[in-house]
Amino acid sequence: MNKHETRDLLEKVSSGIISVDDAVLKLKMKPFEDLEFAKLDHHRQLRQGIAEVIYGAGKTPEQIQKIVSAMMAHGQKTVLITRLSAEAANSLKFDSPFTYYKMGSIGIAGAMPKPDGHGKIVVATGGTSDMPIAEEAALTAEALGNEVTRLYDVGVAGLHRLLAHADDIMSARVIIAIAGMEGALASVVGGLADCPVIAVPTSVGYGASFGGISALLSMLNSCASGVSVVNIDNGFGAGYLASMINHIVCV
């Protein structure tokens, strides 16, 4: 039960359509479902505003199938599956629509929701090699109800490429800056934008990049204010956080 459904339930109690006892029964229903190999947190959307997401790596196609089916049977209209391999995706069969995005290793069961965020999320990458992590971030944000603009291969080695999209940068409500190598993109974007910037270091780079640690340290030491940093290659975490920010109501 999400926040809208809970509000609807309480309004029905207020108007006398259903009894208090019936409403209490609905709210008391077990907040998780035990599938033996997984315990589904059906109340997460009520608590956090975003339903549970499936981490696909390490799960069998059969396990993923059962988890998605249980979520959708409980009323979840869009189920996001991250780090899903192409082999596992090819084994999944659902009655509802299912789309696999190979670039971001993302599976989405059900319909993609209409954007209901309050602004635009910009996802920018330093290079083309950062696109798999960028697509994980962008698709996560879209599956959570956000409008996303993609700016790929706009790294600081050719600063004019980024500056050509100054309007997108300066009109965004949240920006996700994704880069490997020395990770300088986040600082440059942070110096241009008046919105929160979420930096994602990637494991892209030559030997001395230490699998993304070089970019991580650069981003943590950014001289630009308003830059936060998630873990190496954590596109999902960036997309999730950007969605939370984009859904905050301004008063």
* pTM for this predicted structure: 0.85
Query: Per-residue confidence at 28, pLDDT binned at 50, 70, 90?
Result: low
Pairing of strands 106-110, 98-101: antiparallel
Say yes or no to pLDDT of 8 above 70.
yes
**Of 180, 170, 173, whose CA–CA distance to 200 is shortest?**
180
Say yes or no to pLDDT of 179 above 90.
yes
CA 73 to chain centre: 22
Q: Give bridge partners of residue 199 from the DSSP assignment.
A: 177, 229
Q: Could you please report the per-residue DSSP string of 37-72?
A: S-EEETTHHHHHSS---EE-TT--HHHHHHHHHHHH
**Residue 251: what pLDDT?**
65
Q: Give bridge partners of residue 8 from the DSSP assignment.
A: none
Q: How far apart are CA 239 and CA 234, in angstroms?
A: 9
Query: Per-residue confidence at 62, pLDDT binned at 50, 70, 90?
Result: very high
Query: What is the mean predicted confidence (pLDDT) over 83-110?
Result: 93
Say yes or no to pLDDT of 93 above 70.
yes
Range of weakest confidence among 3-17, 77-91, 99-113, 158-172: 3-17
Say yes or no to pLDDT of 68 above 90.
yes
How many C-beta atoms lie closer than 10 Å to residue 156's C-beta? 17
How many C-beta atoms lie closer than 10 Å to residue 30's C-beta? 8
At residue 119's C-alpha, the angle toward residues 194 and 112, to 5°, is 140
Residue 2, amino acid: N
Say yes or no to pLDDT of 204 above 80.
yes
**Residue 75: what pLDDT?**
81
Q: Where are the alpha helices (DSSP H) in 147-227?
A: 159-163, 166-171, 185-190, 213-220
Strand runs labelled E in the chain: 32-34, 39-41, 54-55, 78-82, 98-101, 106-110, 120-125, 147-151, 174-179, 197-201, 227-229
Q: Could you please report the per-residue DSSP string of 185-198?
A: HHHHHHTT-SS-EE
**Of 176, 194, 184, 187, whose CA–CA distance to 234 is shortest?**
176
**What are the respective helix, strand and coil percentages of the chain, to the nearest 5?**
45, 20, 40
**Residue 15: what pLDDT?**
87
Range of weakest confidence among 22-26, 78-82, 90-94: 22-26
From the options 3.40.50.1970, 3.40.190.10, 3.40.630.10, 3.30.230.70, give the CATH code of 120-246. Answer: 3.40.50.1970
The residues of the chain that CATH labels 3.40.50.1970 are 120-246
CA 41 to chain centre: 18
Query: What is the mean predicted confidence (pLDDT) over 54-75?
Result: 91
